[in-house]
Amino acid sequence: MPQAPSIDWDAITDEATRLLSDFIRIDTSNPPGREKAACDWLEGLFRAEGIDDITFYDASDDREFGAERMNMTATMNGDGTKAPLILLNHTDVVPVERQYWDFEPFSGAVVDGVIYGRGALDMKSMNIMELIAMFIIKRLGIPHTRDIVYMALADEEAGGEWGIEWMAKHAPETLDAEYVINEGGWGQAEIFGTRRPAFNCSISEKGPLWLKLIAEGRPGHGSVPHPDNALDRLVRALHKIQVWNRPVTVVPELHEYFDRLWRAQILNDEPSQEAMEKMAKENLLAKAILTNTISATTIHAGIKHNVIPAIAEATIDCRLLPGKDPDEFTQQIRDVIDDAKVRVEPVFVSSTPSSPINTELFGIIEDVVRDSVEEALVLPSVSAGFTDSRIFRQHGITSYGFIPYLLEQKDSMTVHGHNERISVDNLRLGCQVLFETVRRLCS
Ligand SMILES: [Zn+2]
């Protein structure tokens, strides 16, 4: 493999910082999204570098939140001896509660070496790292075997109807690749209480199962309680779900994750069932990847203070471990509720197979991380949230969640929260690791 070229990383970091600030200033809060503005901006940047193989995929229609929804790809053709690599991202961001921010969330303010703004972590910084990786390869004329495809998708934050789902339906040929690098895993400066850099590389993710509970009963006057109150029924059902104890399960996808943590002496105990149960009790994130979880998210009932409602509805957000059958889980919930007058209906369900770790890309990620950050671990992980990778994995394409920055816990908490931010140092590290990963994979 050719030697790594010498690169002026100070200049690249300045450029990436400026680009991220500019990108944050394009408000792509979803809803409504309006990702077209982001695609127009990206197109200008690519063309300025002489990367002209750009295709827009217009998912707009005239429905609410369906306007100006745009997806795009920018491709640098390789010599064709290896199959394409897709650098995947989404251009939309979640909305903000402006009153809680110390900075205008769409200003891209850079203060004391930190870039603030919605999307700074999720995931406009990664978009920029991917962009920079391609720019360096283009500028230095680095020959590459694979097509390198930058794919910017809409609507990830609302489930992907106008983004990945739309592309899979209307432009399935764009999903053709050997590898995808996407969000879904990032590095942590501290892991399970130990200061040790650990880069998560997500190989799978939990499957969303969004359910609606509908309780029906008999209306009546609030002054005369009766046992067929729909809201009482719903509260009982939710309570049963709350106290339902689900087993701690280490899915096969996570064996290596916990083994590596144990071998690195981050975990004191061998990852036995007992140790995992203890861990799930003490750590919410561990519990999320070790159990099928349920969050109650909305509830609606009633029309007046003194009227017993005839109907009451709630939504619950279940996240299933890889391999868990959603129909079976839904039936388990019905059994737990054990009330014929509470219906359980699916609203959104998705699942994904896992990507293997015995691949060329995984090996390269391990090498590059080892060469870049002293003592760093690479952990094949399962992400608690779901991403656009699920569709690629369903098509048999290896897709990793690998955003190579190294976050402190307090910073990672700002994803979807207030004062979302990334340090300039992290942006630099991400640009370096991602570029080198892409270079080695495509040489
Ligand atoms: Zn995201």
Q: Can you read off the two tokens belonging to residue 284?
A: 């919410």
- Residue 387 CA to ligand 1 center (angstroms) comes to 7
Contact (Cβ atoms closer than 8 angstroms) between residue 68 and residue 29: no
Residue 113 has pLDDT above 90, yes or no: yes
- Residue 339 CA to ligand 1 center (angstroms) comes to 38
Got the DSSP string for 311-326?
Answer: EEEEEEEEEEPTT--H
Residue 5 has pLDDT above 90, yes or no: no
- Residue 201 CA to ligand 1 center (angstroms) comes to 15
Query: Could you tell me the pLDDT band of residue 424, with boundaries at 50, 70 and 90?
Result: very high
- Residue 394 CA to ligand 1 center (angstroms) comes to 19
Which among 109, 38, 93, 104 has a CA at the least distance from the CA of 422?
109
Which alpha helices (DSSP H) does 215-302 contain, by range? 230-243, 255-263, 273-282, 284-290
- Residue 157 CA to ligand 1 center (angstroms) comes to 6
- Residue 172 CA to ligand 1 center (angstroms) comes to 22
Between CA 315 and CA 348 the distance in angstroms is: 11
Query: Could you tell me the pLDDT band of residue 62, with boundaries at 50, 70 and 90?
Result: confident
- Residue 29 CA to ligand 1 center (angstroms) comes to 12
Task: Determine the angle formed by the axes of helices 124-139 and 424-442, rounding to 10 degrees.
Answer: 50
pLDDT at 368: 98
- Residue 151 CA to ligand 1 center (angstroms) comes to 14
Q: Do domains 9-191+379-442 and 207-349 have the same CATH topology?
A: no
- Residue 416 CA to ligand 1 center (angstroms) comes to 9
- Residue 153 CA to ligand 1 center (angstroms) comes to 11
Contact (Cβ atoms closer than 8 angstroms) between residue 9 and residue 441: no
Kindly report, residue by residue over 351-368, the tens digit of the pLDDT. Answer: 999 999 999 999 999 999
Kindly report, residue by residue over 30-61, the tens digit of the pLDDT. Answer: 999 999 999 999 999 999 999 999 999 999 98
- Residue 129 CA to ligand 1 center (angstroms) comes to 14
Kindly report, residue by residue over 6-34, the tens digit of the pLDDT. Answer: 999 999 999 999 999 999 999 999 999 99
- Residue 123 CA to ligand 1 center (angstroms) comes to 5
Strands (E), 104-241: 110-111, 114-116, 148-153, 179-191, 194-205, 207-216, 220-221
Kindly report, residue by residue over 224-266, the tens digit of the pLDDT. Answer: 999 999 999 999 999 999 999 999 999 999 999 999 999 999 9
- Residue 156 CA to ligand 1 center (angstroms) comes to 7
- Residue 275 CA to ligand 1 center (angstroms) comes to 31
- Residue 404 CA to ligand 1 center (angstroms) comes to 14
Contact (Cβ atoms closer than 8 angstroms) between residue 210 and residue 326: no
DSSP bridge partners of 224: none
- Residue 131 CA to ligand 1 center (angstroms) comes to 17
Residue 109 has pLDDT above 70, yes or no: yes
Contact (Cβ atoms closer than 8 angstroms) between residue 314 and residue 299: yes
- Residue 1 CA to ligand 1 center (angstroms) comes to 33
- Residue 108 CA to ligand 1 center (angstroms) comes to 18
In the chain, domain spans = 9-191+379-442, 207-349
**In CATH, 9-191+379-442 is 3.30.420.10:** no
pTM as predicted: 0.94
Between CA 391 and CA 383 the distance in angstroms is: 15
Q: Please provide the average confidence, as pLDDT, over all residues in the chain.
A: 96
- Residue 184 CA to ligand 1 center (angstroms) comes to 8
pLDDT at 1: 60
Q: Can you read off the two tokens belonging to residue 324?
A: 């868990």
Got the DSSP string for 321-347?
Answer: PTT--HHHHHHHHHHHH--TTEEEEEE
Between CA 65 and CA 229 the distance in angstroms is: 37
* 440 φψ region: left (φ > 0), alpha (ψ -120 to 50), beta (else): alpha
Kindly report, residue by residue over 136-178, the tens digit of the pLDDT. Answer: 999 999 999 999 999 999 999 999 999 999 999 999 999 999 9
**H or E stretch at 308:** strand 307-308
- Residue 121 CA to ligand 1 center (angstroms) comes to 8
Kindly report, residue by residue over 311-326, the tens digit of the pLDDT. Answer: 999 999 999 999 999 9
- Topology (CATH level 3) of domain 207-349: Alpha-Beta Plaits (3.30.70)
Compute the average pLDDT of residues 257-280: 95
Compute the average pLDDT of residues 68-82: 97
Contact (Cβ atoms closer than 8 angstroms) between residue 21 and residue 108: yes
- Residue 332 CA to ligand 1 center (angstroms) comes to 31
- Residue 188 CA to ligand 1 center (angstroms) comes to 17
pLDDT at 3: 73
pLDDT at 2: 65
DSSP 374: T
- The owner of tokens 């519990």 is 287
